[in-house]
Every structure is written in C-alpha cells, then in structure tokens.
Amino acid sequence: MGRFFLTFLLVQAVLFGAELTPWAQRWFVTPWTDTLAAISAGIVKVFDPQVIAAGKVLQSGSNGFAVSIEAGCNGVEATIVLIAAMLAFPAPWKRKLVGLAIGIVAVQGLNIIRVISLFYLGQWNFDAFEFAHLYVWQALIMLDVLVVWLLWVRTLPRAAPLPAPA
C-alpha cells in the first residue's frame, strides 16, 4: 500500500506540475477547455438554441448570463488524479489503458454535466450557483474519480488485490 501511495503521489505531482507549465497550458489545457465549452454548448443547443460558446465561455443569448470554465472546472485535475491512481495500482498495462480510456470519458462526461448544470443554476439563483460551484460539484467530481477507480479495481483479476502494506 505504501508503494502504491508513493507512486500515486509522485505521478500526480509530476502531472500536475507539467499541467501548470506554459507549454501544457497553451497546447493542451486551453484547447481542451475550449473544446469542453463547445461540447457543452452543442448539447445545450439541442433544447436551448440561443446558447453560444466563445473560447472557454458558455453564454446565454437570451439573458447574457455566462460561465467561464476556469482551472479546476475543466476536469483536468480530476483526470490527473485518475491517471495517477490507475498508473500506480499494480495491474496489467492493457487493463490500465482500457481503464484510463473509459475512466477519462466517465470523468469528463460528468464534468460536462457539471458545466451545464452550473450554467442553468446560475441563471436561476446565484447563491445556489456559488454553493454548487465552490463546494458540491468539487466533491462530486472527486467521488466520480473514486467510484470509477473502485469499479476498475473490481474488474481486475483476483490475483491483483490491493497492494500489501509496505
């Protein structure tokens, strides 16, 4: 267990540090955040055609309300945690890659629901938006990561239980 957590913390710190570099921000984080806004707008437009996405901003054309997807809300950090947890856990590489592919989709899928729900929550009540944005959704996304990881661990062969204590 000790080796698992050390590896988890190390991978997480390295990936998080890499994410903060200008290169990663320019070539990965910003394009991904813009894409997230575009995907969210594309979904919302199905039932609310007046919504537009400009860069990382999702805006209502009817009342002008807009949300800007900032660091911590683009799901990148949650994805980093999931990657670190799956890479650190003793499992065959094929299982890790499949788990990562499905897990990242699951985490980012819920994150799109977060963005859309906050977009409408903010138009209804700003206090509720603040509470959900700052506290509730942060916890829900991490719970999502934890549940995805638990489900993935469950699929592993029984020969790969939780790491023994160091």
Phi-psi category of residue 11: left, alpha or beta, with phi > 0 → left and psi -120 to 50 → alpha: alpha
Instruction: Write down the least CB distance from residue 117 to another protein, Å.
Output: 15
Least separation in angstroms between residue 142's CB and another protein is: 4
Burial of 67 (C-beta count, 10 Å sphere; 0-12/13-18/19+): buried
Question: In the bound complex, what is the minimum distance in angstroms from residue 161's beta carbon to another protein?
Answer: 5
- Binding part of the chain for another protein, among 31-39, 93-101, 118-126, 145-153 by CB under 8 A, reads 145-153
Q: Is 12 in the site for another protein (CB under 8 A)?
A: yes
Which residues of the chain form contacts with another protein (CB under 8 A)?
1, 5, 8, 12-13, 16-17, 20, 71-72, 77-78, 80-81, 131, 134-136, 138-139, 141-143, 145-147, 150-151, 153-154, 156, 158, 161-162, 164
